[in-house]
Amino acid sequence: MATDRIDPERLYADGAVTTAEATFDHDDPDHCEAGTEGRAIVGVTTPEGRVLLVANPDIEHALLPNAVVDPDEDWAEAAREHLRASAGIDVALDGVRLVRRVDHTVDGEVVETTHHVVFAASAPSDEVPDGLCADNDCELGWFDTHPYPDDEVGDGHSRRDTARFLGGEA
């Protein structure tokens, strides 16, 4: 991957990658992405084509590993560091697959705009990493199909993000 810093707004405006838009409604301005640049989302695949997912069997929901990106933080490094620190794996980023511009609203008014940058990445093996879900009800694993066919939790964006890497419709 190029060593140039990722600029999601430039990628979004250039049309250099697939783009999308979303609106997330919140009860108050103090939401999970408040004061951040957004999220680095990583579709990690093995040579066999399996995808690393964070799955929560209690609510039948699965998503790609992702990290909040702080202001002035490098997007690519945030993605790699999250996987290194939380799952104990080093990945090679293979490029950006999607940039999503997200408007965060409270009472119908946009209070903040962030971006979600979806990276493609390669893992050297499909050994199941440990640690990412130590403090919650999630399970980390390699999948070749979505574990929950009717996963409708949340806004549907995470389902479409996983589909990009599982060969489904995005």
**At 2, is the pLDDT very low, low, confident or very high (cuts 50, 70, 90)?**
very low
In this predicted model, which residue has the larger pLDDT, 134 or 31?
Answer: 31
Could you give the domains of the chain?
8-166 (3.90.79.10)
Q: How far is CA 58 from CA 55, 132, 153, in A?
A: 9, 17, 11
Q: Is the pLDDT of residue 136 over 80?
A: no
Q: Is the pLDDT of residue 23 over 60?
A: yes
Q: Compute, in degrees rounded to 10, the torsion defined by CA atoms 118, 20, 27, 151.
A: -70
Q: Return the pLDDT at 3.
A: 42
